[in-house]
């Protein structure tokens, strides 16, 4: 976390059982910051009095998995992803969620 947002006496990590509990603790001032997957966090705070500070690059990559016998589903997923990546919406999503287009 950036030095301008840190409070040395409170630099501790506290795990929460679920996403909503962490957001509630942040809103109620019980914690000063909350770390979560950027896309989910950005969407969750849109209508709240919270500020998104930025993403932490962890190098993680996400993907889909389907059963080998679900070849049709795999084809549909790949076709849908290709359609999305070929559309202007892809660039919008990359910008909105501060993603790296290569990941």
HSE-up of residue 4 (Cα within 13 Å, Cβ side): 1
- Give the pLDDT of residue 2: 44
- Give the pLDDT of residue 54: 83
The confidence band for 53, taking pLDDT boundaries of 50, 70 and 90, is confident
Model pLDDT for residues 77-98, shown as the tens digit of each residue: 999 999 999 999 999 988 887 7
Quick check: 101 pLDDT over 90?
no
- Give the pLDDT of residue 80: 92
Model pLDDT for residues 12-29, shown as the tens digit of each residue: 788 899 999 999 999 999
Q: How many CB atoms lie within 10 A of CB 23?
A: 19
Closest CA to 39 of 87, 95, 102, 1: 95
Quick check: 1 pLDDT over 70?
no
Quick check: 56 pLDDT over 80?
no
CA distance 44 to 35: 12
């Amino acid at each position: 976390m950036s030095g301008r947002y840190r409070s040395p006496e409170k630099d501790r990590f506290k795990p929460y059982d679920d996403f909503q509990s962490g957001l509630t603790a942040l809103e109620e001032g019980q914690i000063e910051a909350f770390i979560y997957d950027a896309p989910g966090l950005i969407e969750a705070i849109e209508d709240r009095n919270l500020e998104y500070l930025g993403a932490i690059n962890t190098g993680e990559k996400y993907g889909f998995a389907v059963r080998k016998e679900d070849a049709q589903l795999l084809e549909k997923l790949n076709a849908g992803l290709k359609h999305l990546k070929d559309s202007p919406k892809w660039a919008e999503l990359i910008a909105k969620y501060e993603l790296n287009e290569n990941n």
